[in-house]
Amino acid sequence: MGKLTPSGYKRRTIEPRLDALMSAFGCVEIVGPKWCGKTWTAMTRCASMTRLDDPAEREAAEMDPSLALVGEAPHLVDEWQEVPEVWDAARGFVDASGNTRGLLLLTGSTSLSEKERVKVRHSGAGRIARLAMRPMSLSESEGATARVSLGALLDGNPLSPVRCETGLTDVARWCCRGGWPANLGVSDDVAQETASQYIQAVLDVNVIDERRSPEIAAGLLRAIALNLGQAVTYKVLARDSGRGEAAPDVDTVAAYLDLFSRLMLTEDLGGWEPPIRSKARARVKPKRYFCDPSLAAALLGATPTRLLRDTQTLGMLFETLVIRDLRVYLSTYPGLGNRVSYYRDDRGLEVDAIVERGDRWAGIEVKLSDTKADDGAASLLALRDQVLRNPAARNAEPVFLAVVVGRGSLAYTRDDGVMVIPAALLGA
């Protein structure tokens, strides 16, 4: 742990991956949404830091970007995007050091806009590595034991039976609390304030900084929550954002969705086809999820009590939670080709998540309760049969098929080979 490690810090799943990148590169950029814990995790590896959200330090860096890099190594520059020129300065700093490893960490909660990108002349390739960070998974926060490793399953290891008792009340709490580090150890009522304040901070600060309308932004965020995990068009989002008022045009919707994506507030889930070079990957509309289910819950005015009376909404939020966790776990693995997508064909077959690690893939269905495991298994087996139907295509078999459930009592493998895994047991 570094000199700056905050008191009460809880270890994150991403840390071994961060250490590996720091050993290989002079600088590592950690990107992720606000409040997900980037700065605290970076501080555990650093001896000094510059905060560019501090007016005095930002003003100094605007005059001379190299001033942001002054300090004992490893040195952290927090919210570097406040002064985009710091990127080129960091690249030059690494070059001047003779490519010494582990010199700098950069953290940022907003990707640069097109206007800001012109201030960055170099890609950073070979000098600056990039690491994505997200809110805490269940295995990092409360309510999970991580006794089933996604990585081990992707390596082809069998699932050992593990008992775990979780109910719909637990699922509703997880979805409303979210994976925010600030919520560790606080009551449910207090934790639910975090997501609401997050949305308000985006509207009051980020949206206004971009010279956009908080009212239009709020309407579109509610529309995304209403259509959570759906591959809807811009026109549908515009219509659902209006609340009886004039709906924004398609170009306006696109501009706001780009902003939400740059803030890492939302993240698209693309479509999947088995052949590597299939054009269908690009033709399938992406689904759109919030980075954390608690944000959608806050926008919908959902509470654990209300969600227990509306299991359809609870199911959508739980799917968001599982997609979040799968992305968290995949981000800890080295190599290219690690991704989550979904499958849908023109005959109505749909599978919630396809997890790829290198040349391996697995199918995952998300169900609110283990009583729906039969339905999930049927979809997964149909996908497997479809993928393998044409021997000439030489498509790989799935490494595993699994139904991830909220309410459940046991992780086990069914007679048909499909695994049933309570979300509270899943880890990296």
DSSP string, 141-180: STT----EEHHHHHTTPPPPPEEEEE-HHHHHHHHHH-S-
Domains present along the chain, CATH in parentheses: 15-132 (3.40.50), 148-427 (no CATH)
- CB–CB of 164/63 below 8 Å? no
Residue the block writes with tokens 């994976």:
179
SS3 117: helix
How do the pLDDT tens digits run along the chain, 428 residues long? 778 999 989 999 999 999 999 999 999 999 999 999 999 999 999 999 999 999 999 999 999 999 999 999 999 999 999 999 999 999 999 999 998 999 999 999 877 666 666 566 666 677 899 999 999 999 998 767 889 999 999 999 999 999 999 999 999 999 999 999 999 999 999 999 999 999 999 999 999 999 999 999 999 999 999 999 999 999 999 999 976 667 899 999 999 999 999 999 999 999 998 765 455 554 578 999 999 999 999 999 999 999 999 999 999 999 999 999 999 999 999 988 899 999 998 888 999 999 999 889 999 999 999 999 999 999 999 999 989 887 766 788 999 999 999 999 999 999 999 999 999 999 99
CB count in 10 Å sphere of residue 103: 20
Please provide the size of the chain in residues.
428
CB count in 10 Å sphere of residue 208: 13
Cα torsion 407, 413, 418, 419: sign: positive
Q: How far is CA 87 from CA 63, 104, 128, 204, in A?
A: 14, 11, 9, 27
Angle at 318 between CA 336 and CA 294, to 5 degrees: 90
What pLDDT is attached to residue 283? 57
What pLDDT is attached to residue 282? 47
- Token readout for 20 is 């590996």
Residue the block writes with tokens 């790829």:
356
What is the C-alpha separation between 122 and 68, in angstroms, rounded?
18
End-to-end CA distance of the chain: 21
Which one, of 267, 273, 414, 420, lies nearest residue 356 by Cα? 273
Alpha helices (H) along 44-166: 55-63, 86-96, 114-117, 150-154
Residue the block writes with tokens 């806050």:
298
What is the C-alpha separation between 116 and 130, in angstroms, rounded?
18
- CB–CB of 411/148 below 8 Å? yes
Find the helix or strand (DSSP H, E) in which 217 lies.
helix 214-226
What secondary structure does DSSP assign to 220-286, as a single string? Answer: HHHHHHHTTT----HHHHHHHHSTTSPPPPHHHHHHHHHHHHHTTSEEEE-B--SSTT-THHHHSPP
What pLDDT is attached to residue 264? 95
SS3 290: strand
What secondary structure does DSSP assign to 352-408, as a single string? Answer: EEEEEETTEEEEEEEEEEGGGHHHHHHHHHHHHHHHHS-GGG-PPPPS-EEEEEEEE
- CB–CB of 271/281 below 8 Å? yes
- Core vs surface per residue 256-294: b (16+ CB within 10 A) or e: bbebbebbbbbbebbbbbbeeeeeeeeebeebbbbbbbb
Find the helix or strand (DSSP H, E) in which 193 lies.
helix 188-201
What is the C-alpha separation between 104 and 71, in angstroms, rounded?
10
φ/ψ of 5, rounded to 5, equals -55, 120
What pLDDT is attached to residue 350? 95
What pLDDT is attached to residue 277? 47
What is the C-alpha separation between 322 and 315, in angstroms, rounded?
11
What is the C-alpha separation between 277 and 249, in angstroms, rounded?
34
Residue 305 backbone class (left: φ over 0; alpha: ψ -120 to 50; beta: rest): alpha
What pLDDT is attached to residue 279? 54
- Token readout for 194 is 């975090």
What is the C-alpha separation between 407 and 36, in angstroms, rounded?
26
